[in-house]
Amino acid sequence: MSYFSSGTWWWPYLFILAAGFAATDVWRFLGVYLGGKLSEDSDLLVLVRTMATALVAAVIGNLIVFPGGALAHTSLVLRIAAAALGFAAYLVSGKRMVAGIVVAELLLVAGLYLRL
C-alpha cells in the first residue's frame, strides 16, 4: 500500500489522513494515558517538558537564522531584533505571550515595509 496505489481521487486524502493519524495521534493518546498516572514533579515529566521546550527553541532559532518565504527577504539583524524585542515585551508585560508576539510581528512588518 502506497500513496500511488490507487487511481481514485479520494485515495491520497485517505492515505494522508491514515498516515498522519498513525504517526501522531497514537502517541498523543498514549501520552495522555500515561501522563495521567505520573505526578507533575516526576523526573520523566520534567525531562519531557525540557525536551519539548528545547525543540521549540531549536525551531525558532532555525527560523531566525535560516528563514524561508517572506522572512528570507529580511536581514538577519531585523529578525534577531524582532525576536529580542518580542521577548523583552513578553517579560515587561508580565509574561503575556500576546504582547511579545504583537511587538515582534509589528517590528517584522515594519522592517518588510521599510525594506530593512
Give start and end residues of each alpha helix (H) in the chain. Answer: 11-20, 26-35, 43-65, 76-92, 97-114
Say if residue 3's pLDDT is above 60: no
If pLDDT is split at 50, 70 and 90, which confidence band does 44 have?
A: confident
Residue 107 belongs to some domain of the structure: no
Distance CA 82, CA 66 (A): 15
* Residue 78 falls inside a structural domain: no
Residue 30 included in any domain = yes
50 in any annotated domain: no
Q: What is the pTM of this model?
A: 0.66
Q: Which domain holds residue 21?
A: 1-37
> Quick check: helix, strand or coil at residue 25?
helix
Question: 52 lies in a domain?
Answer: no
- Under 8 Å between Cβ of 18 and 2: no
Domain count, the chain: 1
Asked if the model's pLDDT at residue 78 lies above 60, the reply is yes
Mean pLDDT over 6-27 rounds to 83
Residue 56, pLDDT above cutoff 60: yes
Q: For residue 7, is pLDDT > 90?
A: no
